Amino acid sequence: MALFEGLASKLQETFRRLRGKGKLTEADVNEAMREIRLALLEADVNFKVVKDFVARVKERAVGQEVLASLTPGQAVVKIVNDELTALLGGQTARINFAGRPPTVIMLIGLQGSGKTTTAGKLANLLRKQGRRPLLVAADVYRPAAIKQLEVVGAQVGVPVFQLGQADPVAIARGGVDKALVDGRDVVIIDTAGRLHIDDELMAELERIKAAVKPHEILLVVDAMTGQDAVNVAETFNARIGIDGVVMTKLDGDARGGAALSVRAVTGKPIKFAATGEKLDAIEQFHPDRMASRILGMGDVLTLIEKAQSEFDAEKAKELEKRLRRAEFTLDDFLAQLKEMRKLGPLDQLLGMMPGMGNLKQLQGMRIDEKDLSHVEAIICSMTPAERRHPAIIDGSRRKRIAKGSGTSVQDVNRLLKQFHETQRLIKQLSGIERGLGKGLGKLPFLK
């Protein structure tokens, strides 16, 4: 995740040096704490939050159970992971659904924070979870805001309730009534924002809150605005009262200070994280998983959840059968590449794998989405016969494929070599599996 790249690389380098020491002294711990403090401040984390965080970590890290440990470096990493998880909120905070539908969710925030797009993303996420959401267009001031919500709603297959330029309070109340009539169990109200906080905005939000009594008030904040986002959250919470935060643009190049400060400053959890422009680019915010990503421990659970939501189960079963028969072709290779790309940018996926978060920073290592596009282009430039039987691809065919895909013959050769190696490995594994199967079948306890 690009948001924490700078912080993650600095912390991981600090811990790498700690792990290299067989024994830690208090001076070693003090030096590590200084580096952690600087890394957090450079990431634009609130100064008081940094001070309290480092104090808690240091208090635990200078204890005898750490300094006398056989693996003191690992013990410090665990302490930082625990405290970072607590700083981000500790437990995963979920939507409080009403016992009696509909659940009313009110989205608030400044103009430009991404409320309308977030409303569509949230509706799409809840729809995939089996809910029947209704979007309500209560932003009557921003030009084309209603039309934008209708477009977003159509893209995710969720209806939009709107009354044009009517009173936002009447629109919100009408949306809840419409949900009751249509059997919609979630109402997501897209309210108006302002370029800055003002009394008029706050008064309108207070009237909407009083009229529909929302079960959840979620503040949408832009992670790119740094500590300004924390200040906005503090103000909205004091005036309106929020239940949680949706952090947008977590895939950007912000330093991460807002995400690491908002819970400590407001006492309110981050409930969702938006990580891209696409309408499926939103996920439940898990403090423990985010802490693991920052420290380079990966986030395998989120990766598995992404895979489960995107992969076609029937296609996966068919591929498994083909692999068992060692019939893996370039068509299968292309299909798996497309399935993998559904999960998101490659650098984000690597960030979820333990120890892989900083892979692209290694010397000579490039992680370029263009490389995957070139692979797709090369395979798509082959005939069906060539994809099924790559052995028939001679010199003249390679030149034609390279020309058709906008790549070089060397690129085609490299891909074919890699594919042949993959095929060879699959055949070896299939042979081992069959051999083991025959051997195991002779064992009396498996009969």
This model's pTM is above 0.75:
no
Report the pLDDT value the prediction gives residue 116, as an integer from 0 to 100: 93
pLDDT by residue (tens digit) across 234-272?
889 999 999 999 988 876 555 667 788 888 888 899 999
pLDDT at res. 440: 40
C-alpha to C-alpha distance for 392 and 383, rounded to whole angstroms: 11
- Chosen CATH of 2-87 out of 3.90.420.10, 1.20.120.140, 3.40.50.720, 2.40.110.10: 1.20.120.140
What integer pLDDT is reported at residue 219 of this predicted model?
Answer: 93
CA distances from 411 to 52, 144, 231, 334, 399 (A): 53, 47, 51, 16, 11
User: How far, in whole angstroms, is CA 247 from its chain's centroid?
Assistant: 11
**Other CB atoms closer than 10 Å to residue 4's CB: what's the count?**
23
- Looking at domain 103-297, which of 3.30.70.100, 3.40.50.300, 2.70.180.20, 3.40.50.920 is its CATH number? 3.40.50.300
Q: Which residue intervals of the chain bear CATH 3.40.50.300? A: 103-297
Strand order in the sheet with 270-274: 160-161, 133-138, 186-191, 103-108, 216-222, 244-248, 270-274, 282-284
User: What does the pLDDT read at residue 442?
Assistant: 46
- CATH value of 304-441 in 3.10.450.50, 1.10.260.30, 1.10.10.10, 3.20.20.70: 1.10.260.30
pLDDT tens per residue across span 174-219: 999 999 999 999 999 999 987 777 888 889 999 999 999 999 999 9
Q: Which mean pLDDT values do the consecutive 10-residue runs of the chain (447 residues) have?
A: 69 80 80 90 87 90 70 80 89 90 94 90 94 95 91 96 94 96 96 82 93 95 80 89 89 68 88 86 87 68 54 59 67 74 59 48 49 85 91 93 92 87 68 49 40
Residues of the chain with CATH 1.10.260.30: 304-441
List Cβ neighbours of 267 (8 Å cut-off, separation of 6 or more): 237
d(CA 325, CA 320): 9
> What span, in angstroms and rounded, lies between the C-alpha atoms of 79 and 83?
6
Q: What does the pLDDT read at residue 70? A: 60
| Predicted pLDDT at 145 | 92
> Rounded CA gap, 288 and 299, in Å?
9
What are the pLDDT digits (tens) for 329-346? 888 777 777 766 666 665
